[in-house]
Chains A and B, each alone.
Chain A
């Protein structure tokens, strides 16, 4: 390699690498160091306290509760979203009447995809306001109003969706599912269209029904996309900060009485409200470890033999 080429390479890399080091890598590394101190943020002095923050963390009832809620999200959000997305994707691509014996999509599938995907481009802040209004705890809320019209909810006792310990997590899960189904539907539907038509035709000739076709052909051939979806939804379930902090009661959310707390809200409260920087850093590290474990476990658990077609 000539000398000029080195100068060119270095010149092109300098700014991106510098930015990345200063704002991403260095803070990431610092977190590990700070998590071992009793740093309170505003003061510049702090002491090394070893693993004290971590032991405190695992005696912190609120944080343990938050981990449990993240685990619940981790189980329900991916399962519900993926099942719905697969169902709709199959309906769109194979739910229509057969075309000369083949399998075809329903009419207007392009229109459905446009509508379903739209929530994905909205920011979670918009969703927070929207669903704050939908879940309103009086007859002015869309959900309560609707259920009252149907006579399922008593006019005098509307449901407080976001203030009822039994409902709040489900109300949040519903928002994430509403937001995500369209995205994964488009993902799955692209993968379904890549499956050669003759495989379906062969199955049809062999007498396979629609259910059979789905479970024996479509699903195995889609497995890669399902796996990707699983990991992404899992990572999203470990976050949940925006929705919880804006929709539920309390400073940085988590209400009622910590029934919707997630790790991220506990962390942000400790950092921005209480100024416990060192402690918040320890939470950040725990979040990283759990996220990594989740990704690895999910990739392992869903691993199948790859089918080439």
Chain B
């Protein structure tokens, strides 16, 4: 019985419990198979976990190396442990890109949630002519690849004089997040009990007030899931800003978002080689995702996977 104890992580009492029961209840040969399988599965699982973690750690460590070290050997240990490289990356544009992304998302995510749930609520709870049609019209948008719209979208935004502007990108983000948001919140509002709604109306609340003060608070779990989904999706969006956020003239300032900026920094490496700054930039870009992920880990997983299943 030494093998299973070895593979079980120390300090974790859970695995030893079943091992004890196992020895009491099952015959010898079956126990042998269990041990082999346990070692086998832990081996593969640990291997994949290493394959996920090691490249990420390696990249972060590389930010502390010098250029020559990065080019020399992949596994040299970094020597200058100063955070200087991070402030250099921040000054070199990451700060601006970061800020641009935050400015866009501060508006686009709440607006997406607001407009998406307004439309979804009306479509889910009110009978009127064209309801089904409108619903399918919204949902159909989720099926088409964004590439189909790109060319006319560019000229549409250009005509509105919103190329390379925050408001343009915000509106486009909201519009492209609507299909999924409406779809998900529609399903969610349908599950809410009608009794509360009727009580609110009977008490004299207007429809608008019922929505904001009664129905929306009840839909909070759904809002959180879709909110996380939209935040991650818009934070990571690359194709739309690539097309819409290019400086239009010489004196038009760069308003790149983070994803665009990182790619930009990477492509500049051909001219001025400063890889530690690039890696520091990536590390800075990863930090908010890591924090959000670790603090809302369950909701993120549930939100993203339920998004697929619905």
Chain A residues within CB distance 8 Å of chain B: 1, 4-6, 8-9, 11-13, 15-17, 19-20, 22-28, 30-31, 34, 84, 87-88, 91-92, 95-101, 104, 106-108, 112-126, 128-134, 136, 138-142, 144-146, 149, 178, 181-183, 186-187, 190, 210, 225, 228-229, 232, 235, 238-239, 241-242, 246, 263-264, 267-268, 271-272, 277, 280-281, 283-285, 287-288, 291-292, 295
Interface pairs (28), CB distance under 8 Å: A8-B206, A12-B211, A19-B171, A23-B172, A27-B149, A27-B153, A28-B141, A91-B45, A97-B19, A97-B38, A106-B38, A112-B49, A113-B301, A122-B286, A123-B238, A126-B286, A129-B263, A129-B279, A138-B71, A140-B74, A149-B75, A238-B145, A239-B147, A268-B242, A280-B151, A284-B149, A288-B145, A288-B147
Within 8 A of A (CB), among B134-172: 134, 137-138, 141, 143-145, 147-157, 171-172
Contact (Cβ within 8 A) A130 B149: no
Residue on B with the closest CB to A94? B41
Given contacts A145-B74, A287-B145, contact A118 B15 (CB under 8 A): no
Most buried by A among B127, B151, B172: B151
Chain A proximity of B86: nearest CB distance (Å): 15
5 smallest CB-CB distances across A and B, nearest first, come from A145-B74, A95-B41, A123-B236, A23-B175, A125-B259
Among A19, A145, A281, which residue has its beta carbon within 8 angstroms of that of B73?
A145
Among B149, B243, B266, which residue has its beta carbon within 8 angstroms of that of A24?
B149
How far is A142 from B151 in the complex, measured between Cα atoms in Å?
A: 38
How far is A264 from B148 in the complex, measured between Cα atoms in Å?
A: 10
Q: How many A-B residue pairs have CB under 8 A?
A: 292
User: How does the 8 Å CB contact mask read for B267-292 relative to A, with 1 for contact and 0 for none?
Assistant: 10000000100110010011001101
How far is A241 from B138 in the complex, measured between Cα atoms in Å?
A: 25
Contact (Cβ within 8 A) A115 B49: yes
Contact (Cβ within 8 A) B37 A125: no
Contact (Cβ within 8 A) A264 B73: no
Cβ of B26 under 8 Å from chain A: yes
Complex interface: chain B residues within 8 A of A124 (CB): 236, 238, 259
Instruction: Please choose the segment from B4-12, B77-85, B190-198, B219-227 that sits at the chain A interface, where 4 or more of its residues have CB less than 8 A away.
Output: B4-12
Within 8 A of A (CB), among B236-274: 236, 238-239, 242-243, 258-260, 262-263, 266-267
Complex interface: chain A residues within 8 A of B150 (CB): 27, 267-268, 271, 280, 284
How far is A81 from B12 in the complex, measured between Cα atoms in Å?
A: 31
Contact (Cβ within 8 A) A146 B122: no
Chain A proximity of B1: nearest CB distance (Å): 11
Among A24, A117, A144, A287, which residue has its beta carbon within 8 angstroms of that of B74?
A144
Complex interface: chain B residues within 8 A of A118 (CB): 52, 290, 293
Contact (Cβ within 8 A) A107 B71: no
Complex interface: chain A residues within 8 A of B122 (CB): 8-9, 12-13
Most buried by B among A98, A130, A149, A181: A98
Give the interface size class of chain B.
35 or more
Interface of B is mostly: helix
Complex interface: chain B residues within 8 A of A210 (CB): 37
Contact (Cβ within 8 A) B137 A25: yes
Chain B proximity of A306: nearest CB distance (Å): 14
Contact (Cβ within 8 A) A129 B282: yes
Most buried by B among A12, A121, A181: A121
Chain A proximity of B293: nearest CB distance (Å): 5
Contact (Cβ within 8 A) B134 A106: no
Most buried by B among A114, A146, A228: A114
Given contacts A187-B305, A284-B151, contact A100 B70 (CB under 8 A): no
Among A13, A22, A123, which residue has its beta carbon within 8 angstroms of that of B119?
A13
How far is A193 from B73 in the complex, measured between Cα atoms in Å?
A: 45
Complex interface: chain A residues within 8 A of B44 (CB): 87-88, 91
Given contacts A91-B44, A288-B148, contact A108 B12 (CB under 8 A): yes
How far is A22 from B128 in the complex, measured between Cα atoms in Å?
A: 23
